[in-house]
Structure 1
């Protein structure tokens, strides 16, 4: 389906709109309003051939989706970076600290960083079971379905931007769904997205009533807390083996920073509801009648049952990255995952930016 819009052509593909000709660097306020409306409506936007977007411009564009947002990186900074599961994956651009460099392989110099070794997250470092080594370059998994969010102290970002500087191409991989036997062929190093709106729409009437009246309590310092635990094979939450870091072994916990958020987040533009949960960071459920479910295994099983239908192969948008792609996604209505296994000499160089929100996400109006 094609639609002419001001500044270029849109192409509809699943949850994404692709803008072919509009230069993101020269967006007026009126044009930005069109982009913002499109983001709230379609969740993922792709701008092609944006080779001249600097880290500064990327930060400024990202902040326009939440002008009152602070300059803090959306995942926040932990007091114990060495134990955080995010620690190995992120390099900060010195002259634009809100923008991170991610990817794979050795890069001699980039935006003030020198001799950096990037490592694309591999499921063998996080999953309880792994694909055999002999199949590793042909088959892969969703690494970790997540929201870009600190989930402790800082509000989740409204939008995340990703810029593809270098993209290795020429081969695909096959995602294995170990629980169902399904498979899905994807481009090497794709970013996978699934819609929280679809997740909500798939629920039974009884489950819709449940999620509308339930809140999720996230663990304090969640990325340190989960650092010893392992993931399900589909990347949708953790296995309960008692390997989480005990609360008394975490950095100092400030009770007022622990986040208890609605299960459903409301689109401020049209009131659609997204089932929006970070499945790896959950710790408790606060039910509508006042009961608190604090058995971690039970909490995870409930959330997994609610979310699992939404990651079926036909519901996943797996972006086929090209150099110059500038992607904006609505971080408050979808979850996404890194995918893929790279050879050591396959260099992938991306920039990402997300900024902690100026306010918490809105739940259902009658919540």
Structure 2
């Protein structure tokens, strides 16, 4: 069987350095045959971000089945597990509502929704940078200016059976009209800013981030592993972010081990390669969740555990990759279904909504069945802190 799916690279301005993303058409997500899925899979690993228009009819079940198909050996478990969202101290807790009949699919958005997919009286909150950043855009500028909320990968980053999801799917159910735009400021002294659609999701390529490094930094990235904090989304709940959303400010505000939800399990601590290999193209992507990093394990066997230094190193390596010309900002329309390679791109929530602007999305990602491969496919890519 031959697929009739059409895949067309997204068109970027000549001044843009964005070299990823594609639109996909002539596909029926609700009745996806093997040939069509194979074409979608190849397109995802090639283009990293796929946009399907006019998919409002796609059910939560079909969304889950599409997501799960990228890693059929994975258990049917939400990518962050249960603890990360169940704890009220987790920074993820206020932003997610689980669909009762399809628990792998979450509802996110902004504003009040009377009923949706078995949920009632939803009061959704679009994450605002003032709740997480060390500084904030002044209130009187909030309508016109915004920031990247938090650059990240979708992953629990703690748990022996919670490998980072391969793919995340996002479906826009309701989007505010009017075409309002904002200026996204980095506010880091660089003067960088970006004109963005209201409530955009911003993406950057981990492969481009790696390719932009010097040869010395590439070798460092290839040979270094990142140790993430236990229960990272609770651990960082009282810390604050840099103004560019790329990692945290070191103020000693992270929670101590005694304040985390359960006794820390050493075999649940994740130590992952700094670079992850694309299974189809072989390209390396610099894939680090900058807010959750705790230690760096260097190729010579030494460990950097000074948290401020660790964050400084990671930020220096990643910051060129989020330069304005490298950021793709999706202009959401109702019915847009976006798939992104969670092991190949970083993304961030962006934007500040008014109280009466209602937005409703569905998100799905599933904890992976295996940990991502690093530069050496034969090396152990997920080890415990006690190793």
TM-based fold match above 0.5: yes
Tell me the residue number matched to 1:33.
Answer: 38
For 1:155, the equivalent position in structure 2 comes to 163
Residues 1:45 and 2:50 aligned together: yes
| Equivalent residue number for residue 7 of structure 1 | 5
* Cα distance change of structure 1 residues 305 and 117 upon mapping to structure 2, 3 Å threshold: same
1:16 to 18, 21, 24: 21
- 1:292 maps onto 2:303 in alignment: yes
How far did 1:21 drift?
A: 3.5
- Per the alignment, residue 384 of structure 2 pairs with none
1:267, 1:333 within 8 Å by CA — same for their partners in 2?
Answer: yes
Which has the higher mean CA deviation after the structures are superposed, 332-341 or 25-34? 25-34
Provide structure 2 residue ranges, at least 5 long, that are not aligned to the other structure. Answer: 12-17, 380-387
Could you tell me which of 104, 115, 139 is aligned with 2:110?
104
In structure 1, the partner of 2:385 is none
Q: CA deviation at 1:9?
A: 5.2
Q: Secondary structure of the equivalent of 1:163?
A: strand
Alignment of 1:314-325 (within 5 A): 314-325=325-336
The whole-number CA distance in structure 1 between the counterparts of 2:82 and 2:226 is 22
SS of corresponding position for 2:241: coil
Distance 1:278 1:302 in 2: 13
Answer whether contact 2:106 2:362 (CA < 8 A) is retained: yes
Match of residue 373 from structure 2: 362
Deviation at 1:78, TM superposition (A): 1.3
Listed one character per residue, the Cα deviations across residues 171-206 of structure 1 (whole Å, up to 9, x for unaligned) are 100011212112210000000000000000000000
Q: What are the Cα deviations for residues 88-141 of structure 1, in whole angstroms up to 9, with x where unaligned? A: 000000110100000000000000000010000000000000000000010000
Aligned residues between the structures: 363
1-side partners of 2:27 and 2:9: how far apart? 13
Cα distance, 1:8 vs structure 2: 3.2
Q: Which residue of 2 aligns with 1:337?
A: 348
Contact 1:21/1:48, CA 8 A, preserved across alignment: no
Aligned to 2:101: 95
Q: Is the 8 A contact 1:279 1:303 kept in 2?
A: yes
Counterpart pick for 1:243 among 248, 253, 270:
253
Q: The residue matched to 1:97 in structure 2 has which SS?
A: coil
Between 219-228 and 10-19, report the one with greater CA deviation.
10-19
How much has 1:82 moved relative to structure 2? Answer: 0.7
Structure 1 portions without partners, runs of 5+: none
Q: Normalised by the size of structure 2, how large is the TM-score?
A: 0.92
Cα deviation digits, residues 129-174 of structure 1 (max 9, x gap)? 0000000010000000000000001100000000000001321000
SS of the equivalent of 2:329 reads: strand
CA displacement 1:298-341 (0-9 Å, x = unmatched): 00000000000000000000000000001100000111000000
- What residue number does 1:349 align with? 360
1:225 corresponds to: 235
Superposition RMSD on alpha carbons, in Å? 1.2
In structure 1, which of residues 156, 173, 197 is the aligned counterpart of residue 182 of structure 2? 173
Query: What is the CA–CA distance in structure 2 between the aligned matches of 1:6 and 1:274, rounded to whole Å?
Result: 30
TM-aligned CA deviation for residue 270 of structure 1: 1.9
Q: Which contiguous aligned blocks of 4+ residues in structure 1 show a shift greater than 6 angstroms?
A: none
Q: CA deviation at 1:365?
A: 2.1
CA distance in 2, matches of 1:32, 1:291: 44
Residues in 2 aligned to 1:47 and 1:26: alpha-carbon distance in whole angstroms: 15
Report the secondary structure of 1:96's partner residue. Answer: coil
TM-score, normalisation: structure 1: 0.97
CA contact (8 A) 1:219 1:282 kept: yes
Distance 2:303 2:252 in 1: 20
Contact 1:103 1:348 in 2 (8 A): yes
Which one of the candidate residues 65, 78, 81 is aligned to 1:76?
A: 81
Quick one: distance in 1 between partners of 2:238 and 2:360?
Answer: 28
